Structure 1
Amino acid sequence: MKKLINNPDDVVKEAMAGMALAHPDLITVDLENQIIVRKNAPIRDKVGIISGGGSGHEPMHGGYVGYGMLDAACPGAVFTSPVPDQMLAATHAVNGGKGVLHIVKNYTGDVMNFEMSAELADAEGIQIASVITNDDVAVQDSLYTAGRRGVGVTVLLEKIVGGYAEAGASLDQVVALARKVNDHGRSMGMALTSCTVPAAGKPTFELGENEMEIGIGIHGEPGRRRTKLTNADDITETLITPILEDLQLKNGESVLALVNGMGGTPLIELYIVYNALQRILKGKAISIARSLVGNYITALDMAGCSITLVRLDDELLKYWDAPVHTPALRWGR
């Protein structure tokens, strides 16, 4: 294992300390409670939005804390859910009196711990709502989930819903929009290599020189099948076909497209995938109205990619385009 770390047990706290020093104008870091909070939180009369999950998926979620996106993030240990006390501390930190939304990826530990923290907050009189993302079309159940996994749509949802909350929407309105984004989005990923968890010191699984894993999760869990390595055009076709089938997109519709790197894939390769994606969708009379290409929801150092599509309408486009300023995303401000 070759990594830029010190003690594997200190990886998360040292990374959080580095984030605080790198972005003092955007975030504050509470190392005791292990949460990342928007600089001026809580904001009076604004719905607070928090999310969280195991570390190792950076920039998600801490990189999305700031104006127009999340108000706080709760990082757990690598690939391990944060605990309810973290989530409750984050809820307190962002509660501006208009309620707090928890955005939860559909992983068993995340769902259970966010439910516990919501019950604790509700008992204190804080208005809480939760939305679970479950956009992965690769498998119905996995090692970490009951039902579909929450993956790339989570990032896009946080941006769109964050823009809506910034505009003054109520908690009920924010929840409705979040559910709409989740319903309109689907994802699928693949791996060329495994990832190496610092505490383990060895790859999570083995792939042969001429093998790839189709439908992996963001923790390196297995997907639909292991198959022979092929070229970028074929890989893109393999990933996008079940997404299109599930979304049932029609001629003339437009989408928000995310071509996401899993942490160890060069950007040049991701643009090759995006080129193939654009060509495939154009052939089906589906237009890409907005896009992101890069590492946005990763699995440590895994080589591979995922594709996410969200069916767009005027409302989703409006709040996607709304200003955002976080460590990982910035436009319009």
Structure 2
Amino acid sequence: MKKLMNDPENIVTAFLDGLVAANGERLQRLEGTDVITRRSFKPQKVGIVSGGGSGHEPAHAGYVGEGMLDAAVAGEVFTSPGADQFLAAIQAADQGAGVLVLVKNYNGDVMNVEMAQEMAEAEGITAEMVIINDDVAVDDPEQRRGIAGTVLVQKMTGAFAETGASLSEVKRLAEKAVSRVRSMSVALTPCTLPAVDQPSFDLAEEEMEVGIGIHGERGMDRREVASSAEIARLLLDHILPEIPQGAPLAVLVNGMGSTSLMELQVFANDVIEQLDRDIQHTFVGEYMTSLDMAGVSLTLLALDDELAEHLQAPVKTVQWKQ
């Protein structure tokens, strides 16, 4: 697939420069880093930081702003940012009440955040971490990856922090959100890394990859391509057993990068028709992609009154508009 770019080796820098050029009234890039922050910070508010490898846009920089993230760190494509980059984000986000880092469950990301925490603590900054692992395609909860459910956790946690809640309270809500959100994905085509210009795995025309992550890796199963309704049933069958029964739901239908909005709306309708539950919110669009992969992920969040309040709270970011 042809790509609109200049130097593939410097695509992340060019992406960040373009993001700030188009949204300079609300975003800034910390000099000498790959960190995007808010233009203005709220004093004595808990700072919320997230990040990871690039290639998942609009995550995470697209969610920097009032009511969501204070800073986002962009690594190279599908590569964890270094500990120094996470530290820079923590330093920028610290407004005197401590910082919470929301990190997807990938070894490099977690390890580098842990090192950044230690360096921040040495400077007198209190930094806590919550690991997001919503991908039910992986059986072992300890090994589950963070995928599109991450965005809902960021939304609710950021909104709660905006109210002036303490670091311990914000961390508590984030951990509750993580415990009640589950996701799973299907790919219809692989993605192509900018500097490689070849698919990340081979997939025949009549095949789909089930249980993919967001880094171009293969899934847990390969099957014959199914209809939208059949894929909805497949994903629901895996996700629903892990969601608290009886709770109202928020539904996130997420495109992986090259799936049309028409197709996503068709899939959303199939999910809603098959869910015999109270659905309070439905989000459809591209929230956490995998470059140019065609596919879809489904996220279900079991709401309670507290989570629902912060999910629907006001927010001002480039991507998430309430």
TM-score bucket of the superposed structures, by smaller chain = over 0.9
Other-structure match for 2:112: 113
What secondary structure is seen at the aligned counterpart in 2 of 1:330?
coil
Q: Partners of 2:74 and 2:186 in 1: how far apart?
A: 24
Q: Is the 8 A contact 2:244 2:302 kept in 1?
A: no
Counterpart selection for 2:316 from 290, 312, 325: 325
- 2:257 is equivalent to residue 263 of structure 1: yes
- 2:169 is equivalent to residue 170 of structure 1: no
Other-structure match for 2:10: 10
Q: Partners of 2:148 and 2:15 in 1: how far apart?
A: 22
Other-structure match for 1:91: 90
1:209 is displaced (CA, Å) by 0.7
Q: Partners of 2:282 and 2:65 in 1: how far apart?
A: 21
Counterpart selection for 1:237 from 233, 240, 260: 233
Q: Is the 8 A contact 2:65 2:315 kept in 1?
A: yes
Other-structure match for 1:305: 296
Letter in 1 for 2:3: K
Q: Partners of 1:225 and 1:170 in 2: how far apart?
A: 43
Other-structure match for 2:19: 19
Letter in 1 for 2:40: N
1:246-295 residue CA offsets vs partner (Å, 9 max, x unmatched): 22423xx31011000000000000011110111111xx3x1210111000
Q: Partners of 2:173 and 2:52 in 1: how far apart?
A: 22
Q: Is the 8 A contact 1:195 1:301 kept in 2?
A: yes
What secondary structure is seen at the aligned counterpart in 1 of 2:279?
strand
Letter in 1 for 2:122: A
1:315 is displaced (CA, Å) by 0.5
Unaligned runs of 5+ in 2: none
Q: Is the 8 A contact 1:16 1:31 kept in 2?
A: no
Q: Is the 8 A contact 2:180 2:244 kept in 1?
A: no
Other-structure match for 1:273: 267
Identity of aligned residues (%): 49
Q: Is the 8 A contact 1:13 1:31 kept in 2?
A: no
TM-score, structure 2 normalization: 0.98
The alignment yields a C-alpha RMSD, in angstroms, of 1.2
Q: Partners of 1:224 and 1:201 in 2: how far apart?
A: 24
1:8-62 residue CA offsets vs partner (Å, 9 max, x unmatched): 1110001100011111121101251110001113x31100010010000000000
Q: Partners of 2:31 and 2:250 in 1: how far apart?
A: 35
Q: Partners of 2:34 and 2:242 in 1: how far apart?
A: 38
1:312 is displaced (CA, Å) by 0.5
What secondary structure is seen at the aligned counterpart in 2 of 1:271?
helix
Letter in 1 for 2:9: D
Unaligned runs of 5+ in 1: none
1:140 is displaced (CA, Å) by 3.4
- 2:95 is equivalent to residue 104 of structure 1: no
Q: Is the 8 A contact 1:108 1:146 kept in 2?
A: no
What secondary structure is seen at the aligned counterpart in 1 of 2:65?
coil
TM-score, structure 1 normalization: 0.95
Q: Which runs of 4+ in 1 moved over 6 A?
A: none
Q: Is the 8 A contact 1:139 1:223 kept in 2?
A: no
1:146 is displaced (CA, Å) by 5.8
Q: Is the 8 A contact 2:12 2:54 kept in 1?
A: yes
Counterpart selection for 2:202 from 201, 206, 211: 206
Counterpart selection for 2:223 from 195, 205, 227: 227
